[in-house]
Amino acid sequence: MSRIFITGSADGLGQMAAQLLVKAGHSVVLHARNEQRAREALAAVHGAETAVSGDLASIKETVALAQKVNNLGLFDAVIHNAAVGYTEPRRIETVDGLSHVFAVNSLAPYILTALIHQPKRLVYLSSGLHRSGDASLKDLTWTDRRWDGFSAYADSKLHNVLLAFAVAREWLSVFSNALEPGWVATKMGGPGAPDSLADAPKTQVWLAISNEPRAMVSGEYFYHLQHRPFLPAAADPEVQEKFMTECARISGVQFPA
């Protein structure tokens, strides 16, 4: 039996992955942005161990969330599932003065990865849209650029791949991978999404618990349990390091070597 922590598991793919893991006999800790949502998550995933809360749009709350997770003990895997979508019509500024999309989708996974005790496996949910992301990493927080919600989301999904690959390079004892679940009919994806909703949570579950040799790898990118081409710049150590350095500067959280 494995013990897994899943961010953003009050609904959508995070909740679906949690249900699959619990059904398979694993111990799952859920996450939601506030206590009310955490209670709702527990009610929806019968058999989950517990749920913790923390608003990933806030650096302070994300740091506190990492401590809450560490207080629960060690985990075999962490699935970084939480994200906001590309429909924000304007730049929403967080309490820290950051773009909401960057804070939740990009910076929060970095902070949690840096501060949660190292698990055996790390799984990051990206998107096929990461291939449209800006690998120059200029103006990560969208302070100077004219706002474009679609591009901001694509950037953030590229950041998830950069983080997964950087961790794979730095932490050789950890399996760290990224995946795209497909465009599916969740609250974020919308009712017209064409991919299989039933298949969408399976790859992250597989990467978190499977003992198949194909799943026990690091620094790779998947779609529906198969390797998938990714933006080549994501494999560039210089681009990865630039992203990690900027996240450390913005958050004040240093990544442990």
60 flagged as catalytic: no
Look-up of token digits 């995946």: 179
User: Could you tell me the residue ranges of all domains in the chain?
Assistant: 3-251
Class of the CATH-defined domain 3-251 = alpha beta
Q: What is the pLDDT of residue 194?
A: 54
pTM: 0.96
Q: Is 36 helix (H, G, I), strand (E, B) or coil?
A: helix
Low-confidence ranges of the chain (pLDDT < 70): 183-197
242 flagged as catalytic: no
Q: Which of 157, 202, 221, 242 is catalytic?
A: 157
State the Cα–Cα distance between residues 96 and 180, nearest whole angstrom.
29
Q: How would you label 42-62 residue by residue, b for 16+ Cβ within 10 Å and e otherwise?
A: bebbeebbebbbbbbbbbebb
DSSP string, 97-153: SSBHHIIIIIIHHHHHHHHSPP-SEEEEE--GGGGGS-TT-TTTT-SSSPP-HHHHH
CA atoms within 13 A on the CB side of 54: 26
User: What digits encode the pLDDT tens for the residues 152-203?
Assistant: 999 999 999 999 999 999 999 999 999 999 765 466 656 665 566 678 899 9
Q: Which of 86, 110, 124, 153 is catalytic?
A: 153
Q: What is the pLDDT of residue 188?
A: 61
Q: What is the pLDDT of residue 222?
A: 98
